[in-house]
Copies of this chain bind each other. A is one copy, B any other.
């Protein structure tokens, strides 16, 4: 079934060596993974203990103590393991592998007789297993464990964790399903659905795919499982959730996408990460089962997001409360969540849709998320993180105990709810999955080049070894060369031409190509000989983007973008009061390549105006007409913000018009 759609190449076949991305891929292996390992083991002294492995050790009976931390804390270990697997795929590391194996053994020892794994429900409330799907995160944690197991197996070939996770998955398959004695519920936080598809992918056990599909379709069925569960005698809120829905009557089913069956949901609703993980599974199942209606539903939800509910930085979740979707065009800049994990979910969803539809426009959005929001999620030292990704920050307004308390002007060492750091780690260590998509169906062999990240990749197509050497300084320029080393084989090379590319040209073996663009990919079908290749060239120039006037927060505002990167203005370059910056859409945007800043950064300089008070300092005045002063502005990529002295930051600035005297 799957062969109809594009698939990824194994990460171990892709060797990234890219000026732009080495800063992150090498950072994850060298800094983030060891730092996070220290956090999970409570060895980072200037940060409160995470209790993550501590809990597993108690569950394994190796130490005694009180289980601590959020009920979904186990998932941090799983996501770390998944990231570790991906790091091992690109470069062997005996110490890392030893740590991972030790952790896997620990998880194995913490597994219950019947296969169940969850330190919270094993240690704290064993009698309430599966009794709070709404908030309990058991299936969410299971999902991340399964993903880690699949990843670790795929990279190392080791089966210990896969067996552990499969035993757990088998238990879940017994507990949940349509049978009379089974529970007819689904997870409050989707994640296991896409994980079960991955487990199916390596095991080919159809029960996993069937359960994933069951979870997808039972969600939102009537009567609502979550509401019924909360109404049962003895239902108790999870410790972390008494703040969210204080009483069952306050519960909002859309928060967990259960307000309607997913097949009739036309807008992206509720908690953004939950939504996007769910949509990923929907896309997977649509592909594997050739379910056109479900695919159409995915496209409908995707379009609602990218057209009406997504920030220019590729982030989602407008509400400062519950990190959730709100309404069309509601995109406040300074009070939003725009959770890093939600952008990761968006990229995962877009990647799936690109593979099903062979449409490059989905990759445009993946790229937006990865180059801007996900990149902003981690410091250039690898050990500081953003959970929330605002587009406008006035540091003094990010006050504790106010409606902007969730917005931080500087990256944090860790979080009470620490989903993002390990999620960033697993995303950037598996960045290779985004670069290529391959079609190996019987009647068509295609290699899609999605992202322009220098790499050396080997794979087999038509039974022939092919090596691709992609070399570029993208996004500094739009020059990409792909050298093909092969004994000679025919396939279509499909190169994404980004929506922002200007005057693109493609040479094949030095001659103008005669392919054509289909859904954003320039497709060249030929027999490739060793030493051949293509040279892609397109202009990447800074330009102005206009906000839709329906976006209240941005009406009359413009932003500067360049290629996949959204730019922002920081206090370090531009002083304070950035909300008062006005920029003409005709302003000359001058590029400056600064090789010393953050390992090489393309800055953009321009002249603008700043609206300043003409006298009084009061917050409003009938007599004080503010006036414009000239200002020279410097913008830098949003993904690089907050790596210098903390200060103001802004993406959207006012469109400069001529003052009426």
Contacts and interface: CB of A to CB of B under 8 A. Distances in A.
A586 B403 contact: no
Contact of A585 (B242, B619, B660): B660
A334 interface: yes
A332 B331 contact: no
A438 to B, nearest CB: 31
Copies in the complex: 2
Contacts of A402: 318-322, 324, 326
A585 B625 contact: yes
A327 B500 CA distance: 40
A397 B552 CA distance: 11
A626 B403 contact: no
Interface stretch (A35-43, A374-382, A650-658): A650-658
Given A308-B617, A320-B335, A656-B660, 17 more contacts: A242-B242, A250-B401, A252-B400, A252-B401, A324-B402, A327-B396, A327-B399, A330-B396, A545-B620, A545-B622, A549-B613, A550-B580, A552-B579, A554-B620, A586-B660, A657-B657, A657-B660
A312 interface: yes
B252 A621 contact: no
Nearest to A648: B552
A143 B630 CA distance: 55
Contact of A335 (B329, B403, B582): B403
A555 interface: yes
14 contacts: A243-B243, A307-B618, A307-B619, A318-B402, A321-B405, A324-B402, A327-B396, A546-B625, A547-B620, A548-B616, A548-B617, A549-B577, A550-B580, A561-B622
Contacts of A551: 619-620
A612 interface: yes
Contacts of A306: 618
A321 B402 CA distance: 5
Contacts of A392: 552
Q: Which 8 A-B pairs have the closest CB atoms?
A: A657-B657, A320-B403, A552-B579, A658-B658, A319-B402, A549-B580, A549-B611, A321-B403
Contacts of A331: 619
Q: Which of A394, A548, A577 has the most CB atoms of chain B within a 10 A radius of its CB?
A: A548
A82 to B, nearest CB: 31
A72 to B, nearest CB: 18
